[in-house]
Amino acid sequence: MTYCVGMRLNSGLVFLSDSRTNAGVDHIGSFRKMTLFENPGDRIMVLLTAGNLSISQSVRQTISEYLTPDGTSIWTASSMYEAAQIVGESIRSVHKRDAESLEQFGIDFNVSLIFGGQIRGERCRLFQMYSAGNFIESHDENPYFQIGESKYGKPIIDRVITPNTPLDEAAKCALISMDSTLRSNISVGFPLDLLLYDEDALTISRFVTIDEKNQYFQMLRNSWGKELRSVFEGIADPVWNAAPETTSNVLSTRDNSNQPARIAPPVSIARTGSVHSPLQTLAENGDRKAQY
């Protein structure tokens, strides 16, 4: 499994990926899932991959070599949309070549990608690519994409990220999102690759590979955990069966009686007024016999 996130902001792009791959808990490896296509001054494109490792590596290689019928490649595409079409065609090319053979061995054609960057003359763009080679583009309503094990890291991004978020703040959010995923899923692991791209720079100036000893990541992990506990402890506990006039922190009131869905016990063992376990019943019967 894996976890990757890409963000498209007014000030540029943020990409973060883990590097763990596994075929069971006793077969774990590390493979980088971020690939950079860079021609400084002309274009910068980043690819994040998730899914079957052999498929994603084949797709990545095909992208670098693919030519359209008119001879256009990812290096000569006139727009990021055209480059995304080339990525989609590369996925379909690998599917056409390998999918049937994989299916014979019970292996699904499983790959998903995040692809983003900037080509000189247009704005930054970000796409999520699917196994069929189709894709969607990020807009202001949804300025980020995730692939892989996304559910643990999604809440913090939803609460924090907007198109106006500065790059460094977005990087901090992405790392917290990754930390939440690392804590909850052993199929995601170090090292991490983090890349920030400033709009119109057309070259990469901020990239880092993060391991467990990285000073900033350790500070962030410890601070986030401490602040979460502090906020949690500062929220009042719920008040149960409160008087109707109570207005603070009320979870339930006396005049609003709710009941769970119950299944009644068989008539033969039902007791009126209290619930008794079989051991309680045997003990009571033993007490009665001792009286005679």
Tens digit of each residue's pLDDT (9 = 90 or more) over 260-280: 999 999 998 877 655 555 545
Q: Are strands 135-137 and 144-148 parallel, antiparallel or unpaired?
A: unpaired
Which residues on adjacent β-strands are paired with residue 207? 195
Residues 104, 88: one domain?
Answer: yes
User: What three-state secondary structure class fits 99?
Assistant: helix
Residues 184, 243: one domain?
Answer: no
pLDDT tens-digit profile of 98-108?
999 999 999 99
41-50 in b/e burial notation, b at 16+ Cβ within 10 A? eebbbbbbbb
User: What three-state secondary structure class fits 9?
Assistant: strand
Residue 101 covered by a domain: yes
Residue 53 covered by a domain: yes
With cut-offs at 50, 70 and 90, classify the pLDDT of residue 139.
very high
Residues 91, 235: one domain?
Answer: no
Residues 208, 221: one domain?
Answer: no
Which two structure tokens, joined as six digits, stand for 92? Answer: 């379909």
- Residue 39 is inside which H or E element, if any? strand 34-39
CA distances from 199 to 164, 166, 215 (A): 13, 12, 27
Residue 266 covered by a domain: no
Residue 171 covered by a domain: yes
Distance CA 240, CA 133 (A): 53
pLDDT tens-digit profile of 165-224?
999 999 999 999 999 999 999 889 999 999 999 999 999 989 999 999 999 999 999 999
pLDDT tens-digit profile of 144-169?
999 999 999 999 999 999 999 999 99
For residue 18, count other CB atoms closer than 10 A to its CB. Answer: 28
Residues 232, 120: one domain?
Answer: no
Residues 205, 220: one domain?
Answer: no
Residues 8, 42: one domain?
Answer: yes
Residue 54 covered by a domain: yes
With cut-offs at 50, 70 and 90, classify the pLDDT of residue 22.
low
Burial class (CB in 10 A: 0-12, 13-18, 19+), 132: exposed
Which two structure tokens, joined as six digits, stand for 162? Answer: 């907007």
- Return the residue matching tokens 């106006």: 164
Residue 36 covered by a domain: yes
CA distances from 206 to 12, 36, 85, 167 (A): 12, 13, 27, 11
Question: Is 292's pLDDT higher than 70?
Answer: no
For residue 276, count other CB atoms closer than 10 A to its CB. Answer: 13
Question: Is 6's pLDDT higher than 60?
Answer: yes
In this prediction, residue 248 carries a pLDDT of 83
Domain of 162 in residue numbering reads as: 3-212
Residues 27, 172: one domain?
Answer: yes
- Assign residue 47 the CATH number of its domain: 3.60.20.10
Phi and psi angles of residue 37, each rounded to the nearest 5 degrees, phi first: -110, 110
Residues 173, 233: one domain?
Answer: no
Mean per-residue pLDDT over the chain, rounded: 91
242-270 in b/e burial notation, b at 16+ Cβ within 10 A? beeeeeeeeeeeeeeeeeeeeeeeeeeee
pLDDT tens-digit profile of 226-259?
999 999 999 999 988 888 777 788 888 888 778 8
Question: Is 23's pLDDT higher than 50?
Answer: no
State the greatest distance between any 2 C-alpha atoms of the chain, in Å, as a whole number: 103
Which residues on adjacent β-strands are paired with residue 44? 38, 118
Residues 169, 236: one domain?
Answer: no
Residues 124, 248: one domain?
Answer: no
**Whole-angstrom distance between the N-terminal and C-terminal Cα of the chain?**
69
Q: Are strands 135-137 and 34-39 parallel, antiparallel or unpaired?
A: unpaired
Residue 278 covered by a domain: no
- Return the residue matching tokens 């069929």: 132
In this prediction, residue 127 carries a pLDDT of 98
Residue 272 covered by a domain: no
In this prediction, residue 278 carries a pLDDT of 52
Residues 180, 222: one domain?
Answer: no
Question: Is 281's pLDDT higher than 80?
Answer: no
> How many structural domains are present in the chain?
2
Percent of the chain with pLDDT over 70: 90
In this prediction, residue 285 carries a pLDDT of 53
Which two structure tokens, joined as six digits, stand for 196? Answer: 């920030």
Distance CA 45, CA 276 (A): 68
Question: Is 77's pLDDT higher than 80?
Answer: yes
Distance CA 130, CA 143 (A): 18
Distance CA 101, CA 109 (A): 10
